[in-house]
Structure 1
Amino acid sequence: MTKVKTGLSKKLLTRVLSVYFILTLIVTFGQILTEYLNAKNHIESELQTLKNTFSTSLTRAIWELNTPQAKSIAEGLMELPIVEGVQIRDENGVYIADIGRTTSLPDTRVTSGIMRDHPGGTFGYSFPLIFEFSGRTSNVGDVTLYSSVSIIFSRIEVGIFFLIGNAIIKTAFLVFLFLNAFRHMLTEPLAEFTQQISEFNVDHPEASKLHVQIDDDNELKLLQHSYNKLIDDLIEYKDRLRLTQEQLKEANSKLDEQNISLEQEVAKKTASLSKIMLDLEQQKDELILKQRELKQENENRQYIEDELRKRNKELADSMETLKIAKDQLVESERMASLGGLVAGIAHDVNTPLGVGVTAASFLQERIKYLEEEYDKKTLSSKSMSAFITEAQQTATLLLSNLNRASELVSSFKQVAVDQTSEAERDVDLNQYIREVVQSLAPTLKKANHTVNIACPEELVIRCAPGAIAQIFTNMIMNSIIHGFENKENGTIDINIEQHDNEIFIEYKDNGKGLSEEALNRHFDAFFTTKRGRGGSGLGTHIMYNLVTQTLGGQIEAFSKRGEGLKYTIQFPQ
């Protein structure tokens, strides 16, 4: 019996599952597209809402030509998760701030809020800055806030995975259900029909009847009943034929003998041919089975490759997110250092200011007393002399304390401005380092630590002074927090030399030093010996990047347990 190339059940199952797969793909894609559009509309609404939050302060900053404040507001906006770029222009179209992922804007002035899509998967919301003064309005510039498709996908990522997972689970369950149903209700009964029909024996038709277990009254059971009825008819016909042959046997015995011989020969040939056909059928079934196994293996391999691609993409997205988080942590560490500096300076400035206020109050009381005596005509030369003496002492005290506060504020102002700016300028290294140490004086005085500086006079270098301030601040604070832990009267020696347009800095403290393992990981990001006690592990990593990248130099650390820590820094003048 000839084997069919594609079974009826397989064709039916393929068509049903194909239609279901197509519908599932269409519905899933539509749901993902809807999630994407909803998330994008929500982010666009948030960008428009930001206009009401900062437009007033930014408009006033541009109106007052306060560019640093405008840039500070732009940097603050960059901290928002939905903002990937900020552009601020004045009324002449000149860029005041251009931060993050941005693109070139038309030179035309923005008169109303407008949402635009930009190349590279970004989109932005532009709106004008209107300043009202004495009942009149003036357009002082415009702002463009940028977001991107990556932020949209980060919001709907869980939803997309849920939709895809839901579709996969439903599809897998439906495939399993259909395969099981088709196998029990159609494939297995048809296979048994085919097998039993292929074993049909002409000599024993009674044994060739179909015996297939079918629970339902369906077309297959009707087919079995009809086939068995056909076998019964064949048996009855054969019995009648045998009776007729016996009646004619006497008249045609020789012919009967020849017919019997011929029938036997045909039966043998038929049996031999049936065996050969069965062997061929078995070989063909084995070949089909191997082809199916090979196809299943190829499908499994393709599925694994698709999963690997998906995991690689997820890993790349995770690495990008980790890089952004690391940059944010580095910036937070820099601002935390500046915050600590502010707290120390504020405390130290408060003392001379308090003395100045007290002296001014005392002087005011003495003047009032002198005025009363003058009005009463009781002012004597002795009272006047005492007043002059007290006034001179009070003025001297007031002047010295105000000068002290002025020096602290001046040092802090220069260091703080430099730490928040990356602009290059000429710097007197000796004077500037002393200003940095002066800004750290409140912290140093708490434990009576000493900083000795040896640097040539009028040694001028050109660089971003914020990098110098950050490097020395990190080294000194690292010595105070880690090296001088549980130690009073620590000593820090800073020796600076110049050779052939190269600056050589040797920094050394007499702290407790580092172990060999800690020294090997000293400049690694997030490595700290105070994990869980306020240490972030970014101070030395930031210092290493500032020396090697910003200054284009080299830095090395040397230390042993109990022998302090030493840094050697070299960079071009």
Structure 2
Amino acid sequence: MKITSISRKLLSKVLSVYFILTISVTGVQIIAEYFNTKSHINSELLTLQKTISGSLTRAVWELNTQQAVDISEGLIAIPMIKGITVTDEAKNVITQLGEVLSLNPENSPNRDNEHYIISSISEGLFGHSFPLIFEFSGRTTTVGTVTLLSSNDVIFSRIEVGIYFLIGNAIVKTAFLILLFSLAFNKLLTEPLQALTNQMKQLDLHDPDASKFHRMSNETNELNVLEDAYNNLIDELIEFKDKLALSQRETNLANEKLDEQNLLLEQEVARKTSTLSSTLLRMEVQQKEMLTQQHQLEAENSRRSKTENTLITTNKDLKNSIMELSKAQDRLLEAEKMSSLGQLSAEVSHEINTPIGISITSISYLADILNKLQQDINEQKLSKRTIDTFIENAQHSVALLLNNLQRAAELIASFKQVAVDQTNDKIRLISVAKYLDEIIQSLHPKLKKTNHHVKVDCDPHIEIYTHPGAIAQIVINLIINSITHGFADINRGIISIKISAEAQRLVMIYQDNGVGVSPDQLEKLFMPFYTTKADKGNTGLGTHIIQNLVIDTLNGSIDANSTLGEGLSYRITFPDMRYT
């Protein structure tokens, strides 16, 4: 039989507890060192943010991509920086170096105007993202964002020596305690127990008195108590032998009386057994009937349980399908909201090419005549006629250059304000007439391809606090709908926009002289995905988005009226935000 050593078992438990405690404490110290170092790195990233924010903001505002790239390359050279991403106000990446943190755009919050901390445990990256805010003429504009990333490798490189020191310290202490505990347990427990075991093996049941323990030491401990208890047990065993002899004689007499009682008892048991057998037979019949009913109930419960599980699974699938459809609809609505802005962006870019190209040609011509003038000066052929001709051509080139650059600047300013309002959707004070001019100016590249005309009737003194982005989206969608649907077969269409203020509410009457819609089509006008030109790529979300913007964003109302062949009109009302 294999003997398990108590001292070894006790030693293993004590050392196991100590080992677990040591690992836990060392792990806590390492984790604390990790988070402390990570906090220092985050502080260094914040300090670095303050250092490079100004120069990077100006580079993005001035569209100086090379300067932004140079600054980013200088930052990525710092060992602490593992990744940098610079984007403009439209979330387009200007430069992206090093590590990139993967984010789900559907789940990430809209934090365009605030600093926030980024952390990804799975990718081992962390850092900060902060907006680039440019101040100009007393206004602040978010021109882009910068994301600085560091990694766990940087943290581990800083705390590597400390980790080795902690682990080595724990190993040395553990080895020393194992040696110390082994010697102590062997001296104080194993050897005394071995001596007691040897004395117990010498026990003689015929002469118990000679088998008593002899005290091994003068100390009073648990082993001495065990010796005294064993000696007392021997004394009781001697007394028990004497009493057992006396008891044996009494037992013989009692056995004789017990035999008589057993005979009577056997007779009584036989009678009771007969009665019990008949009772058990009836109980078996009842038990079989109960088992049959129980099986039927279990089968019914199993069937109902399967049905319930099927219903629960079906319900979950239906809920998941509804949620997915809702998310898809939200994404489609958002994409449709930005589609008009994307179209405007492409058309404005194309429109700007003309004045920019003329400006480049003027500058090139001006450079040529300057070179010619320099050549005449060097060759001493300069005359009054040459100077007059140079001045006339230079003035003509400068005038042409100024006119075309002014035209490009107006297009960019109008489109930029409208684009910023649609992406940011902040509440601010606007002059309604001036803002409508900016919106229509941004649509000029699309309108100039047609013979259609937009008339605006608005008091120039009307100013309100509202969501300018929502108003821009509404007007752009209305004009594009008129061009696409109302003026499909009309060469010269007229769009009329009349603005008036009534009791702290703005009233917009929009009307075109297009083909109009039928009563059936008018009832479905604001329904999502309803369109009469689905075969041409239209989604049917334009008027639905307009209705959502008027009701949900502007807290207003919208009504549509039309007669087939006589155009379509909208009446839109919404409050001045300063009174709500």
TM-score category, normalised to shorter length:
0.5 to 0.7
Deviation of 1:72 after TM superposition, in Å, equals 6.1
Partner letter of residue 115 of structure 1? I
SS at match of 1:307: helix
Of residues 377, 390, 401 in structure 2, which corresponds to 1:387? 390
Provide the rounded CA distance (Å) in 2 between the counterparts of 1:74 and 1:375: 53
Provide the rounded CA distance (Å) in 2 between the counterparts of 1:305 and 1:75: 51
**Map of 1:505-520 to 2, 5 A cutoff?**
505-520=508-523
Provide the rounded CA distance (Å) in 1 between the counterparts of 2:383 and 2:354: 36
* Residue of structure 2 in register with 1:445 after alignment: 448
Deviation of 1:62 after TM superposition, in Å, equals 6.3
Partner letter of residue 555 of structure 1? I
Is the contact made by 1:114 and 1:125 (CA closer than 8 Å) also made in structure 2?
yes
CA deviation string 1:304-323 (max 9, x = no partner): 33322221111111111112
SS at match of 1:446: coil
CA deviation string 1:241-260 (max 9, x = no partner): xxxxxxxxxxxxxxxxxxxx
* Residue of structure 2 in register with 1:341 after alignment: 344
Is the contact made by 2:333 and 2:545 (CA closer than 8 Å) also made in structure 1?
yes
**Map of 1:233-272 to 2, 5 A cutoff?**
none
Provide the rounded CA distance (Å) in 2 between the counterparts of 1:395 and 1:82: 47
* Residue of structure 2 in register with 1:115 after alignment: 121
**Map of 1:74-153 to 2, 5 A cutoff?**
81=104, 84-85=107-108, 95-96=114-115, 115=121, 127-128=126-127
Deviation of 1:391 after TM superposition, in Å, equals 2.1
* Residue of structure 2 in register with 1:544 after alignment: 547
Provide the rounded CA distance (Å) in 2 between the counterparts of 1:74 and 1:529: 34
Provide the rounded CA distance (Å) in 1 between the counterparts of 2:459 and 2:110: 43
CA 73–80 in structure 1, closer or farther in 2 if over 3 Å, else same:
farther
Provide the rounded CA distance (Å) in 2 between the counterparts of 1:412 and 1:343: 11
Partner letter of residue 312 of structure 1? N
SS at match of 1:525: coil
CA 299–530 in structure 1, closer or farther in 2 if over 3 Å, else same:
same
**Map of 1:380-419 to 2, 5 A cutoff?**
380-419=383-422
Is the contact made by 1:88 and 1:143 (CA closer than 8 Å) also made in structure 2?
no
Deviation of 1:447 after TM superposition, in Å, equals 1.1
Of residues 364, 371, 375 in structure 1, which corresponds to 2:374? 371
CA 297–78 in structure 1, closer or farther in 2 if over 3 Å, else same:
farther
CA 78–296 in structure 1, closer or farther in 2 if over 3 Å, else same:
farther
CA 324–341 in structure 1, closer or farther in 2 if over 3 Å, else same:
same
Provide the rounded CA distance (Å) in 1 between the counterparts of 2:52 and 2:502: 46
TM-score, structure 1 as length reference:
0.54
* Residue of structure 1 in register with 2:310 after alignment: 307
Deviation of 1:462 after TM superposition, in Å, equals 0.8
Provide the rounded CA distance (Å) in 1 between the counterparts of 2:91 and 2:381: 65
* Residue of structure 2 in register with 1:499 after alignment: 502
Are 1:330 and 2:333 counterparts? yes
Is the contact made by 1:429 and 1:461 (CA closer than 8 Å) also made in structure 2?
yes
* Residue of structure 1 in register with 2:475 after alignment: 472
Are 1:566 and 2:569 counterparts? yes
Is the contact made by 2:439 and 2:472 (CA closer than 8 Å) also made in structure 1?
yes
Provide the rounded CA distance (Å) in 2 between the counterparts of 1:331 and 1:399: 39
Of residues 486, 489, 505 in structure 1, which corresponds to 2:489? 486
Deviation of 1:367 after TM superposition, in Å, equals 2.3
Partner letter of residue 487 of structure 1? I
Same amino acid, percent of matched pairs: 38
Of residues 313, 318, 322 in structure 1, which corresponds to 2:321? 318
Provide the rounded CA distance (Å) in 1 between the counterparts of 2:494 and 2:296: 77
CA 560–294 in structure 1, closer or farther in 2 if over 3 Å, else same:
farther
Provide the rounded CA distance (Å) in 2 between the counterparts of 1:461 and 1:506: 17
Provide the rounded CA distance (Å) in 1 between the counterparts of 2:363 and 2:148: 46
Partner letter of residue 108 of structure 2? G
TM-score, structure 2 as length reference:
0.53
Deviation of 1:517 after TM superposition, in Å, equals 2.2
Provide the rounded CA distance (Å) in 2 between the counterparts of 1:88 and 1:397: 44
Deviation of 1:368 after TM superposition, in Å, equals 2.2
* Residue of structure 2 in register with 1:554 after alignment: 557
CA 334–82 in structure 1, closer or farther in 2 if over 3 Å, else same:
closer
Provide the rounded CA distance (Å) in 2 between the counterparts of 1:141 and 1:423: 27
* Residue of structure 2 in register with 1:359 after alignment: 362
CA deviation string 1:279-315 (max 9, x = no partner): xx9xx99x99999777655644443333222211111
* Residue of structure 2 in register with 1:462 after alignment: 465
Structure 1 vs Structure 2 CA RMSD: 4.0
Provide the rounded CA distance (Å) in 2 between the counterparts of 1:88 and 1:498: 35
Partner letter of residue 127 of structure 2? P
SS at match of 1:462: strand
Provide the rounded CA distance (Å) in 1 between the counterparts of 2:91 and 2:416: 21
**Structure 2: segments with no counterpart, 5+ residues:** 1-44, 62-85, 94-99, 131-145, 152-284
CA 336–79 in structure 1, closer or farther in 2 if over 3 Å, else same:
farther
Aligned length: 349
Partner letter of residue 531 of structure 1? A
SS at match of 1:85: coil
Deviation of 1:140 after TM superposition, in Å, equals 8.5
Provide the rounded CA distance (Å) in 1 between the counterparts of 2:101 and 2:330: 12
Is the contact made by 2:496 and 2:511 (CA closer than 8 Å) also made in structure 1?
yes
More divergent stretch after superposition (454-463 vs 67-76) = 67-76
